[in-house]
Each structure stands twice: as structure tokens, then as C-alpha cells.
Amino acid sequence: MNTKIIASLLATASLATLSGCVVVVDGRDDGEVKWASTWEAENELATEANQDLARQVSAALAADKSLAGEKINVSARRGAIALHGSVASTDAVNRALQLAAGVPGVTSVVSRLSVEFPVE
């Protein structure tokens, strides 16, 4: 984020605090600021942002042909992504981590994926 945007956000936040509003900044570089009138509304905005990021990561995983049929669930919190489920190989784990990390807005990725080997 550039210095002008930060200064503007700080000034806006100061005014909003005096009026009882909450300023929610999602950390992206697009400079978008969302307003919430209560802490509850702020939590709702944060939840929406988490769900949106999780959907974007899920879409990236679903679009990859090498991960077709894999059972991967995605959760997000403040840019941190957790991948849950099971996959067929360590290559699939690595590919899922790579794809998730490449989604804009993702700050870290944690794998909670297990590799299931076929029973003979």
C-alpha cells in the first residue's frame, strides 16, 4: 500500500472512530475501504472476505486438471489458507499448495491434507 493511501486511511479511521464507526481495510492494494457501524458488522465483513478468499482458492483447485477427483476443503482467515482433506499423492499435495499460494490475497498456506494410498 502506498504512503498516500495509508495516510488517507489513518485520517479516515480517526474521523470514523470519533463518530463511532469502524473502518475495515482488507489489506489489498486496491485502496478499497469498507465501513461498518458496529463490531458485529466488522466481523460480518471479515467473514465475507474469508469466504470470498476460500471460494477463490477452491475455484483455482477445481480448475486444475491434475487435482480432478481430489477431496480438498478450503478455509480462510485473514489471508491464511488451510487445506483439509485427502489426496492420492504427495504430488497432489504440492500442487494444491502451489495453486493456493498463487491466489491474490493469500498470505500463507497450511496443509492439513493426508495422502491415501490404495489398499491392495
What gap in Å lies between CA 25 and CA 7, rounded to an integer? 13
Q: What is the pLDDT of residues 17-53, one digit of tens each?
A: 444 444 444 445 555 555 555 656 556 667 888 899 9
Supply the CATH classification number for the domain 49-120.
3.30.1340.30
Every domain of the chain and the residues it spans: 1-37, 49-120
Output b/e per residue, 97-111; b: 16+ Cβ within 10 A: bebbeebeebeebeb
pLDDT 10s digits, 49-81: 889 999 999 999 999 999 998 989 999 988 999
pLDDT on residue 83? 94
Position 63 scores a pLDDT of: 95
Tell me if residue 8 falls in helix, strand or coil.
Answer: helix
CA gap 54, 81 in Å, rounded: 7
Q: What rounded mean pLDDT belongs to the chain? A: 77
